[in-house]
Structure 1
Amino acid sequence: MQKRTVLITGSTSGIGLAIAKAFAQEGYNLIFNGLETDGAQTAAAVAEEYQIAHLFDPANMLHPEALRTLVMRAEQRFGCIDILINNAGIQHVSPIEDFPEEKWDAILGVNLSSAFHLTKAVWPAMKQQRFGRIITIASAHGLVASEFKSAYVAAKHGVVGFTKTIALEGAPYGITANAICPGYVRTALVDKQLADQAATHHLSEDEVAEKVLLAKQAIKQFIPTESIAAMCLFLATEKAATLTGAALSIDGGWSAQ
């Protein structure tokens, strides 16, 4: 099989980096993206470790023109983006009456609108080659809600709906679209939440994990990044050619309740 190319947003840390390493191990060409100051070095280190071709672009998900430029650069380098993984995301927690309007706009922009802009940009080449994979890292909050997360829940529900629409539009052209809906994943952002809530509730971090963060999950364990990466790898293959328009839960039983 000709070596395929994958673009992963937010891929220089957390879930995105785990996904990038999984694809690198399988020999894919990688387009990395992230806002970390050491993002280019992180991308280069992964590419060196797995001996793959790569490109790094620090495009901000809030700037549509930067996203179009990212896709143009990638297509000039590799010819076509075969797999787009919309992973970048941000969060803010606040009661609705206090929710900052600028946070609402930013969360919708990063978590939802960027997926639209990037999908639109990669679509013509995917359509022409009659192969494409659009994979979006949504959330359990794309299926269920939690209080104080109005923007995040709205954006993730929007991502699931967007995924279903492009699955229908892509079906005649060999393009599939699916959303992955994880529960809580142990990342640096979650570590900060654990520390903050431990201080607030006067609990240990282990107690916060079980009684607060994982309270709604039947399996009281954080979702491994490796599970999300493995699902992405499967969705990228020919074996997943008829799996499209799905919101795939990896949430420890959260959405089953």
Structure 2
Amino acid sequence: MDLGLKDKVVLITGPAKGMGSAVSLAFAREGARLVLVGRDLAAIEPVATEARALGVDAIVLACDITRGEQVATMTRHALEHFGRVDVLVNVAGGSGPIGKTGWETTQDEFEQIVQLNMTGCFNTMQAVLPGMIERRSGKVVNVGGTFGMRGRAGRMAYSASKWGLRGITKSFALEAGPHGINVNCVAPGMVDGPRFREKVCANMAQKLGISVEEAMERHAQDYALRRVSTDQDVANACLFLASDVSRQITGVDLPVDGGWAML
């Protein structure tokens, strides 16, 4: 199926590794032109190089998305290069403290993850939406998480930030919808990769006295499909919500979790 993303200008935050890299290259394979945004340019450049090898234009821009003035400058540079932004995909985010109760979480830990996972997305949406509204066309895909749909003990700060992002997404969807703009949220469950294995599974393994591999299997058993999601699963969901195949879908949370949030 042709998703109609060829030559679309897609701005992606957090593209350096994991889900961000997979999402970026998925759009490149569809022929989209890329604006890859993050703080560590050296980490992003290999992704841009791989995208260019697929025959698409990809630029790399430095930006701390929690800083509104940096986001405004970055967006201006993107518009100077491409003339417009058709799709915004907010992948950048953090996990916050793992294994801490709410009362053990420090104020700094709480504020940092809320700033990254909520304020960062707010800043980028606020920057690109005026241009989309002017053209009466655009797609926004925020990457949330299923802990923002069911909550999770030991992950209060992260869960709170992703619940908040859902509210931001739904409110923006209502406001931007009359201008022809879709705003949705992809909600990954556990996604296989270094952070999942080295932080989440390692934390469980230490607490229960089991191996990391056994911890991974315990997580998989929580899901209807009995498997942990991959970066590509998340990337495919982002492609769907960024395309006109999903033109009549807005303000939704799309879990990519093998059937955990719905259980």
Paired residue secondary structure (2:185): strand
Please give the secondary structure, in 2, of the residue aligned with 1:96: coil
Match of 1:78 among 51, 63, 82: 82
Q: Matched residues in 2 for 1:235 and 1:40: separation?
A: 24
Is the CA contact 1:43–1:56 (under 8 Å) kept in the aligned structure 2? no
Q: In the TM superposition, what is the alpha-carbon distance from 1:182 to its structure 2 partner? A: 1.2
1:145 aligns with 2:151: yes
Amino acid at match of 1:81: V
Q: CA deviation at 1:199?
A: 4.1
Percent of residue pairs identical: 29
Q: Distance in 2 between matches of 1:33 and 1:132?
A: 18
User: Could you tell me whether the CA contact under 8 Å between 1:61 and 1:109 is conserved in 2?
Assistant: no
1:202 maps to 209
Equivalent residue for 1:25? Answer: 29
Where does residue 165 of structure 1 map in the other structure? 171
Aligned residues: 256
User: Which residue, out of 219, 227, 233, partners 2:225?
Assistant: 219
Is 1:253 equivalent to 2:259 in the alignment? yes
Structural RMSD (CA): 1.7
8 Å Cα contact 2:145/2:187 also seen in 1: yes
Matches within 5 A, 1:4-23: 4-23=8-27
Residues 11, 19 of structure 1: 8 Å contact kept: yes
**2:164 is aligned with 1:155:** no
Q: Is the partner of 1:80 in helix, strand or coil?
A: coil
In structure 2, the CA distance between the partners of 1:181 and 1:44, relative to structure 1 (3 Å rule), is closer
Q: Distance in 2 between matches of 1:190 and 1:216?
A: 15
2:198 is paired with a residue of what secondary structure?
Answer: helix
Q: Give the TM-score normalised by the residue count of structure 1.
A: 0.93
* 8 Å Cα contact 1:220/1:252 also seen in 2: yes
**Residue equivalent to 1:183:** 189
| Inter-partner Cα distance in structure 2 for 1:96 and 1:171 | 36
Q: CA deviation at 1:105?
A: 0.9
Deviates more, 1:245-254 or 1:45-54: 45-54
AA of the residue aligned to 2:15: S
What is the rounded CA distance, in whole Å, between the counterparts of 2:18 and 2:197 in structure 1? Answer: 11
Unaligned runs of 5+ in 2: none
Alignment partners' CA distance in 2, 1:14 and 1:181: 15
TM superposition score normalised by structure 2: 0.91
SS in 1 for 2:22: helix
Superposition map of 1:47-196 within 5 A: 47-91=51-95, 92-93=97-98, 94-193=100-199, 194-196=201-203
